[in-house]
Amino acid sequence: SAIPANKASCKNLCHRHQLFINFRDLGWQKWIIAPKGFMANYCHGECPFSLTTSLNSSNYAFMQALMHAVDPETPQAVCIPTKLSPISMLYQDNDDNVILRHYEDMVVDECGCG
Amino acid sequence: LQFQEYVFLQFLGLDKVPSPQKFQPVPYILKKIFQDREAAAITGGSQDLCSVKDLGVRGNVLRLLPDQGFYLYSKNLSQASSCLQKLLYFNLPAIKDKEQLTMAQLGLDLGPNTYYNLGPELELALFLVQEPRVGHSIPKPGKLFVLKSVPWPQGVLHFNLLDVAKDWNNNPQKNLGLFLEILVKGDRDSGVNFQLEDTCARLRHSLHASLLVVTLNSEQCHPSSRKRR
C-alpha cells in the first residue's frame, strides 16, 4: 500500500546551501595569497521516502527511507554531498616558500540522500 | 576555533599558521597555473590535479623556494674577469617524506631587459658545494655541472636540478648549496673595464635565484591510469 509521504515543505528537504569561507574571517589573509576565500557550500535537509525516489539518491538511501517509514526507530537517510570539486590555493609558508597546492573535494556542487 | 583551526591546517598539510615576515614575489608560472585552475573550476571543466600541464610533469604541490645564500667576496677571484661569486642555498626540508620529487628547476633571473648596452657576453658556471665550510671560509666549488655562455646580462635562465635535488632530499646533509660564478668573456680594455664594473654592480643588484620544485603526493594522486594495451 502507498505510504503517505510526510508533508515536509520543500525548503526543509535535502539540498545544497551556500557557504562562503572567507580566509579573512579566519585571520589567514596574511599568508594565503589566493584565493581570498571559496564557496564551500554544505548539504542539509530531510530525506523523506518520497525524496529518495526523485533526488539523485543511492539505492541504500531508498531502502533506509523505506525502513524509516515502516519503523521510525530506523534513522532516516541523510543529506550528503553527491558531487564535489577541488580548489587550488596559493600561499606562503614560514620558510618564505611560495606554494601552489590543489585540494580535492573542497566545494559541494550537488547534494543527495545517502 | 583554535583547535578546529589546527585540524584544518593539518588537513592543508601545515603544522602551524604561517606568519611570513616578508612577501615573496609570485612567479608568473604559478599565477598562470592558479588562474587556469580557477577558470576550469568555474566552467566545470575536468581537471587532472595531479599533472602540471604547463610544466609537463606529474605533481600536485608546486613550491617556489627562494635562494637563502649570499655573495662571496673572495680576494683571489678565480679569474681576472670574474664578475661575481655567490653561494645559492635552498631549504628543501619543506618537502614532506611521502612526496615524490618530479621536477626541480633552478631559475636565475639576471635582471630586466635593458637596451642601452647589450653586452658584455658572460660565462656562467655552477658548481656543487661538496665540502662544508669551515667557519667563515669561502665554500670550495666542487663538481662543475653547468657552464653556459650568456650573450648579455639579462633575462631568466633555467637549469634542471632534479637529480641534484633528489640526492639532497635523500641525503639532507649533502645539501651544502651551489657555487655560482659569473665571468665576463672577452679581453679587458678600459671600455670593457668600465662596463665590467657597471655590469657586475648591476648583476649583483638584480640577480634573483629561486628553485621551482614539483612534488607528487602518492596518497592524494593515484598512479596515472595508463591505458592498458
Q: Which residue in the set A28, A89, A95 is minimally distant from B94, CB to CB?
A: A95
Cβ–Cβ below 8 Å for A92 and B13: no
Opening angle at CA A97, ends A96 and A98, nearest 5: 115
Cβ–Cβ below 8 Å for A30 and B65: no
Q: For residue B105, which amino acid is it?
A: Q
Residues linked to residue B158 through DSSP beta bridges, in sequence order: B107
B87 vs B72: CA distance, rounded Å: 7
Cell of B124: 656562467
Binding-face residues of A in 36-75 toward B, CB within 8 A? none
pLDDT 10s per residue in chain B (229 long)? 556 778 888 877 788 888 888 888 898 999 999 999 888 888 877 778 889 988 999 998 999 999 999 998 765 555 567 888 999 999 886 677 778 999 999 999 988 777 656 667 889 999 998 877 666 677 778 889 889 998 877 788 999 999 999 999 988 888 989 999 998 876 545 455 556 777 788 888 889 999 999 999 887 776 554 444 3
Q: Which residue in the set A34, A92, A101 is minimally distant from B18, CB to CB?
A: A92
Q: How many CB atoms lie within 10 A of CB B51?
A: 18
Instruction: Tell me which residue of B84, B74, B105 sits closest to B207, measured CA to CA.
Output: B84
Contact A108, A16 (CB under 8 A): yes
Q: Which residue in the set B19, B34, B91 is minimally distant from A88, CB to CB?
A: B34
Cβ–Cβ below 8 Å for A96 and B21: yes
